[in-house]
Amino acid sequence: MSDHNAFPDGWREITEAEFVRSAYFSQVPEKRDYRQMLDSGTRDPAKLDLSGRELYMCATLYSYADKTGIALASEHERGRVRFFAFGCPHEFHGLTVAEERKLGVSYQSLQCGTCGLIVGKPDSSD
């Protein structure tokens, strides 16, 4: 089934200040798509319009290599743009030397405790 009308996992509204500091301005997205999303019966304000109504949310979604994303949604009636993030809100921690060896990753790699994503270069020592 198409996910064209579904909110991606981790959908959350961010402030304009957070958007300014986001990947949108510093990374090339892997994918860009346009969605008209509806989550019937939701009470999540990030999935409702600014009046709290359940309407299709029209947004352009930018997905990045680290499995996070940024979205811009149009609020037609108010002439407003709303900013959203989706995907894992990564919380990285360092790995022990034993973990790095087991995973075959380089010194000082970081791993997200939530989704398991590892950031670091592949080990090229052998």
Question: In the complex, which residues of this chain contact Zn ion (CB under 5 A)?
Answer: 88, 90, 112, 114-115, 117
**Minimum CB separation from Zn ion for residue 88, in Å?**
3
Helices (H), 7-96: 16-20
**b/e sequence 32-60, b meaning 16+ C-beta within 10 Å:** eeebebebeeeeeebbebeeeeeeebebe
**Minimum CB separation from Zn ion for residue 101, in Å?**
22
**Minimum CB separation from Zn ion for residue 33, in Å?**
21
Q: Which is nearer to Zn ion, 42 or 108 (CB)?
A: 108
The CB-side HSE value for 114 (13 A sphere, CA atoms) comes to: 10
